[in-house]
Structure 1
Amino acid sequence: MTDTKAPPRAKVGPLLRRAAAAEGAMWRSLYVWARRRPLSLAPGDDPFGYLGVVRPILGIFIALSAVEIPIFDLIVSNVVPWRPARWIVLVLGVWGLLWMLGLYASMTIHPHVVGDTGLRVRQSAGIDLWIPWTDVEALHKRYRSLPSSRSVQIEQEGDRRVLHIAVGSQTSVDVRLRRPMVFDLPRGRTEPVDEVRIYADDPIGLLRSAQGSPATETVRRPPPSPARSPGHPL
């Protein structure tokens, strides 16, 4: 006789660990952001943010979270006779506000980074992918809207597998790989992917910075020729 409840129970542990890790990362990000220290970058690194497309939405949620704290406090203190309920609602309201600020902070202090040896793809504190320039075949600017709101999506396009690291259901830079690569994500390791698509607020700046990196000379700068194909990257 099999235990049909075993698989759900087996999933609870990893889910709780991911939730605890996300909570800890949120508080650390809020602390670092509040101290207003400059980003820790190596010489030659250029950061590129991706917050612009969701900044208005986050701003609205932060404002609503701040406004609802005194409103709910007033309602609960006058309607619910149990006094501890007021403090419970107040604590939850403050926690919700700090959580939204922590999400904003996490996306601010973890930008994409173009370096001399590769591209570091970030999204908040949970996603951190490293792609060496030697594994990059081409970079293209192309805005795409995705049907799903999930930040991490994998789809099959013909015989190619594509990893989307989206922000606001959008990507703006296509990173075509020379060989299939696997990446570690919060939910586990991916299958080999042939292309990574990310969102950056300034995709043109990111491409220019990548083009100027010494290690990318052999990747996207072919020897001069009389006629360059219009489809050649960069």
Structure 2
Amino acid sequence: MTVVGLLRKAVAFEVGMWRSLGRWVRRRPDVPAGADAFPYASAVTPVLWTFVVLSAIEIPLVDWLLPWRSARIALLVVGVYGLLWMIGLLASMKVYPHSVGDGGLRVRSGSSVDVSVPWEEIAAVRVRRRSVEGSRTVVVEEEGERRAVSVTVMSSTQVDVELRTPLVLPLARTHGRPVTELRLAADDPAALVRRLRAGLAGHAARDEAARTDAAARADGDAR
């Protein structure tokens, strides 16, 4: 990625943080009308709150210890900014949950990951707890012709979504290469899998009804 691309990504991430903070304050999670939300941030929430509390303690402590006014002001600005940034990171994970609705599954990770998978592209779903190497949010794993993308929380995922055909997802780390499986973290993986299976069954029933209706109309026209 070029320097300009990295800067654009950093700016987009920063803007997303502040928007998330605003949504959190106003209690307006980004969940489509009629969709069910599935959070994923419970494992990382205590860690982030620990950093927030320590930062809040550090700000007045540094201000009290430093004798230089200019340094105190500079570090106060940096400290407050860092505190708000961490709260914004937590907010982004709270206001952008995964969701399941009429169109299928929408996978989120804060404001930086937004992947929609329609029902017709989902072959199977299952609960499977995995540990993922590294600390990146998005990890791509390849095994032969298969390519899996993990959207992790605390280097782990709990739900596997097997795709019907290889699918190109809007994730930079895939470099435009199609993937065959999507893995994601969820606070209640069993509930998410139940909802997805119910949605798949409903989608299959609607498709069958539509085919039956189309066949009936075709038969009527032929007569």
TM-score range, shorter chain: 0.7 to 0.9
> Is residue 33 of structure 1 aligned with residue 24 of structure 2?
yes
1:218 to 191, 204, 221: 204
1:193 to 169, 179, 187: 179
- Equivalent pairs, count: 205
- Equivalent residue for 2:149? 163
Instruction: State the TM-score, normalized to the length of structure 1.
Output: 0.82
For residues 20-79 of structure 1, what are the alpha-carbon distances to aligned partners after superposition, in whole Å with 9 as ceiling and x for unaligned? 111111111101101123554322x11000001111111111111111101111122x2x
The percent identity for this pair of structures is 47
Equivalent residue runs for 1:92-107 within 5 Å: 92-107=78-93
1:207 to 193, 199, 205: 193
- Equivalent residue for 1:182? 168
- Equivalent residue for 1:64? 54
- Give the CA deviation at 1:108: 0.2
Distance 2:92 2:133 in 1: 25
Contact kept, 8 Å, 2:99 with 2:105, in 1: the verdict is yes
> Is residue 46 of structure 1 aligned with residue 36 of structure 2?
yes
For residues 146-203 of structure 1, what are the alpha-carbon distances to aligned partners after superposition, in whole Å with 9 as ceiling and x for unaligned? 1211111101123211111111000000000010011112567431100000001111
Distance change in 2, residues 1:133/1:199 (3 Å): same
- Equivalent residue for 1:14? 5
Contact kept, 8 Å, 1:117 with 1:213, in 2: the verdict is no
Distance 1:18 1:106 in 2: 16
Contact kept, 8 Å, 2:29 with 2:96, in 1: the verdict is no
Distance 2:151 2:31 in 1: 23
Flag structure 1 segments of 5+ consecutive residues without an equivalent: 1-9, 220-234
Instruction: State the TM-score, normalized to the length of structure 2.
Output: 0.86
Q: Which amino acid aligns with 1:50?
A: Y
User: What secondary structure sits across from 2:163 in the alignment?
Assistant: strand
Contact kept, 8 Å, 2:31 with 2:97, in 1: the verdict is no
- Equivalent residue for 1:88? 74
Distance 2:42 2:175 in 1: 28
User: What secondary structure sits across from 1:91 in the alignment?
Assistant: helix
Contact kept, 8 Å, 2:123 with 2:162, in 1: the verdict is yes
Distance 2:173 2:147 in 1: 18
Distance change in 2, residues 1:188/1:213 (3 Å): closer
CA RMSD of aligned residues (A): 1.8
